[in-house]
Chains A and B, each alone.
Chain A
Amino acid sequence: MFDFDATLPLMAVQFLLLTALLNLVFYKPLTKALDERDAYIRNNQATAKESLARAESLVKDYEAQIAAARKESQSILEKAQAAAREIVAQKIAEAQKEVQAQKEQAADEIQQQKATALSTLEQQVDSLSRQILEKILGPELVR
C-alpha cells in the first residue's frame, strides 16, 4: 500500500503537463472571455448610467416646465376669480342703489300723497266747520 516507485515522479510530471495544457486551453481563453465580458458590461453600465442621468435631467426640466405652467394657470385662475368677484360686487352695489332710489321715490310719493290728503282733509275740515258755524249762527253772521 505504501510502495513508492516511479509512479510518483511520473505523476508529478503528468500533473504539471496537465496544468500547462489546461492553462493553454481552459484558463487563458476563458479568463480572457470573462474579462472581456466584464469590460463590456462595465462599458454598457457606464453608458446606461449616462443616459439615465440625461433622462433624469430631462425629467427635471419637464417638471420645472410643468411647475411654471401650473403657477401660470393658478395666477390666471386667481385673476379671473378676482374679476368675477369685482363684477359681482359692482352688480350688487348697483342693485342696492336702485333699490334705495326706488325706496326713496316711494317714500317721497307717500309723503306727497300724505300732504295732499292732509290738505284736502283741512279743506274739508274748513268747509265742514263753516257749515257747522252757518248752521249754528246762521248764514248771515258768518260772512
Chain B
Amino acid sequence: MDINSASVIAAALAIGLAAIGPGIGQGNASGQAVAGIARQPEAEGKIRGTLLLTLAFMESLTIYGLVVALVLLFANPFT
C-alpha cells in the first residue's frame, strides 16, 4: 500500500471514528435535555442555550477528527 492510498483510508477512518463518540454523547445530551424540558417546560430557554453550547463542544471533537483528515488529504506531511 503506497502512502497516498494509506492516507485516504486513514482520513476516512479519522473522520468516521471521530464521529462515533460525539454522536453517542450528543444523543445522550439531547435526550436528557428533552426530558428536562418535559419535566420543567418553564426552563426551556435556559436548557436550550446550554444544550446548544454543549453540543458545540461535542461537535468540536468530530471536527478535530476532520482536521486530521484534512491534513492527511490536503497537507500530508509524508508525501
A and B touch in the complex (CB under 8 A): yes
Interface residues of A (CB under 8 A from B): 1-2
Q: Would you give the 0/1 interface string for B34-74, flagging 1 where the beta carbon is closer than 8 Å to chain A?
A: 00000000000000000000000000000000000011001
Q: Which residues of B contact A1 (CB under 8 A)?
A: 70-71, 74-75
Bound-state Cα–Cα, A1 to B76, Å: 10
Q: Which residues of A contact B74 (CB under 8 A)?
A: 1
Bound-state Cα–Cα, A1 to B74, Å: 7
- The number of residue pairs between A and B whose CB atoms lie closer than 8 Å in the complex comes to 6
Interface residues of B (CB under 8 A from A): 70-71, 74-75
Query: Whose C-beta in chain A lies nearest to the C-beta of B70?
Result: A1
Nearest 4 A/B pairs, CB to CB: A1-B75, A1-B74, A2-B75, A1-B70
Bound-state Cα–Cα, A2 to B74, Å: 10
A sample of 6 inter-chain contacts (CB < 8 A) reads A1-B70, A1-B71, A1-B74, A1-B75, A2-B71, A2-B75
Bound-state Cα–Cα, A80 to B74, Å: 109
Q: Which residues of B contact A2 (CB under 8 A)?
A: 71, 75
Q: Which residues of A contact B70 (CB under 8 A)?
A: 1
Bound-state Cα–Cα, A2 to B71, Å: 8
Q: How far is the CB of B8 from chain A (nearest CB, A)?
A: 16
Bound-state Cα–Cα, A1 to B71, Å: 8
Query: Whose C-beta in chain B lies nearest to the C-beta of A2?
Result: B75
Bound-state Cα–Cα, A1 to B70, Å: 9
Q: How far is the CB of B79 from chain A (nearest CB, A)?
A: 14
Q: How far is the CB of A110 from chain B (nearest CB, A)?
A: 97
Query: Whose C-beta in chain A lies nearest to the C-beta of B77?
Result: A2
Bound-state Cα–Cα, A1 to B77, Å: 11
Q: Which residues of A contact B75 (CB under 8 A)?
A: 1-2
Bound-state Cα–Cα, A1 to B66, Å: 13
Q: Which residues of A contact B71 (CB under 8 A)?
A: 1-2
